[in-house]
Amino acid sequence: MKTILTYQDFLEERDRAGFLRRLIAEHEADAMVKTARTADLYDRQRNRTICESVRRIYTLAGMPVKDPTAGSQRIASNFFSRLNTQRAAYLLGNGAGFTDPETKARLGADFDTRLMQAGRLALIHGVSFLFFNVDRVHVFPLTEFAPLWDEETGRLRAGLRYWQLAADKPLCAVLYEEEGYTHCRWEKGGAQLASRQPYRTRVLTVPAEEGSEVLGGENYGALPVVPLWGSRLHQSTLVGMRQAIDSYDLIRSGLANDLNDCAEIYWLLENYGGMTDAELSRFRDRLKLMHIAALDTGGEGRVTPYTQEIPHAARQAYLAMLRAGIYEDFGALDVSALSAGTRTATEIQAAYQPLDEQADDFEYQVIECVQQLLSLLGICDTPLFTRNRIANQMEQVRTVMLEAPVLDRQTLLCKLPNLTPEEVRAVLERTGEEKKKEERHG
């Protein structure tokens, strides 16, 4: 039975360096991490099953050997990357808005970019981790961060981020605790653990003098590393999806190989059994080059060309069924369903229903993660997201304008589909300034 190292195990361990090294080893062997590494391959369109597939034949003795005559086309689909990007961009593509404009500034200038990166990794790996570092956010993937969960509350209490450039290079890591962070290093000479440092340091710098003086340091009220789960299932989106992708890749690659193997005309020579393999080869090469052959038909010899018709209709139908099933099971939007003619807003909204259902689950996870980040700063706020969707905007704007007589200006602007929360706020501010100018000059 697999053991799980927890935060309580870490507190009881005297040999910290040995414990952390064992934590890395067990984290690498964890099933979720192995799935995450496989998911990374699919995200890069290096689908493992099709890339490692080998067509085999069996000898008379029943031994499997690689078929030297089989085609070598291995076509990897891009479903996994595209669908995860679609779900992440649909929710996070327009960034996060907040009730208080100052909230976003406290999280860093590139917070939207980091949140998008963390969200996409959370879908692919099942979870990602956001580290708040004074005035900005850093993203740790599951494949580089070993968490230590609390046995009683299930909360993240500590974690180790590790990396190694090559097998002959030192293994480096940073241990994150509520009391501060510690740099770690393993090489041939043994383990090296630096002294624990606070997350925030107060430094005094005098312009007239060189150098600076460290006045002290402080930490946050909790661990500044927050998990972002991809869904309530706490698992990679590759789970359950891989079999369908593999089936699609194998069938499409098999069809390509069959077309390649049977693309040429083959010839049957009758009453030429005395020819050796070398003579047959020379005969074929000459026929392909000259497109003509001289034969002595006195012995009733004959050369007959043949071509093969590859059955493809059934495979095409199954590929189309697989593609539709992948989109349906993932809860994604197939834009081909919206491309035929002009669609009404109701039809477009109905097509987005599966994507909305999955995005709702994802949004709950993102909101919980962001609120944990804000609690580190003592801020009580909730992120707001404008979903990035194709829409019949003319019809939506017409509906909003019909409601204009009974709505205030802010509500009216918020309902317009082409304005983000920041743009609405900017419009209201400019309108207020223009109104004040008119009153002064009135």
**Tens digits of residue pLDDT in 181-219:** 999 999 887 889 999 999 987 666 656 556 666 566 788
State the average pLDDT over residues 123-148: 96
> Residue 348 has what pLDDT?
75
The answer to whether residue 58 scores a pLDDT higher than 50 is yes
8 Å CB contact between 20 and 163: no
Q: Of 184-198, 204-218, 310-324, 415-429, which one has max mean pLDDT?
A: 184-198
CA 186/CA 192 separation, integer angstroms: 6
370-393 burial, b if ≥16 CB within 10 A, otherwise e?
bebbbebeeeebebebbbebebbe
The answer to whether residue 111 scores a pLDDT higher than 80 is yes
8 Å CB contact between 92 and 112: yes
State the average pLDDT over residues 64-87: 80
State the average pLDDT over residues 166-191: 92
- Does the pTM of the predicted model rise above 0.85? no
Which of residues 421 and 74 earns the better pLDDT score? 74
